[in-house]
Amino acid sequence: MKLLLRLGKLLAMLFWVVVLVNLFKPLTNPFHLLVNLVGILLLLTHLLELVLFNASVKHRAHPWRDRLLILLLGMFHIKSLPAPTADQDNKDGNHA
């Protein structure tokens, strides 16, 4: 499973490199629009993931780094986070 997560992270970073290169030196005619469209859709999807998983990231040691990695890598980073402990679940549940 770790191998698949690392491979997914590598491919996600490679995709963002292609998007950045496409911004400065556009690809041929139909492809530059498609890369931009997919990049925008993926960024919106990762923003939605960030909103949905913000509570689990909030109590980590470096929450802003985790948020940035969620924006770049999405579920590949979320799946690599350790599961919350029972003490952390009780703290969140006692707020009400």
Give domain status of residue 87, yes or no. Answer: no
Structural domain that includes position 6 = 2-81
In a domain, 94, yes or no: no
| pTM for the predicted model, two decimal places | 0.78
Q: Does residue 41 sit within a domain?
A: yes
Q: Is residue 52 part of a domain?
A: yes
- Domains held by the chain: number: 1
| 75 domain residue, yes or no | yes
The torsion angle over the Cα atoms of residues 39, 72, 25 and 23, rounded to 10 degrees, is 60
pLDDT at 30: 87
| Position 24 in a domain | yes
Condensed to tens digits (0 to 9), the pLDDT of residues 6-63 reads 999 999 999 999 999 999 999 888 899 999 999 999 999 999 999 999 988 888 889 9
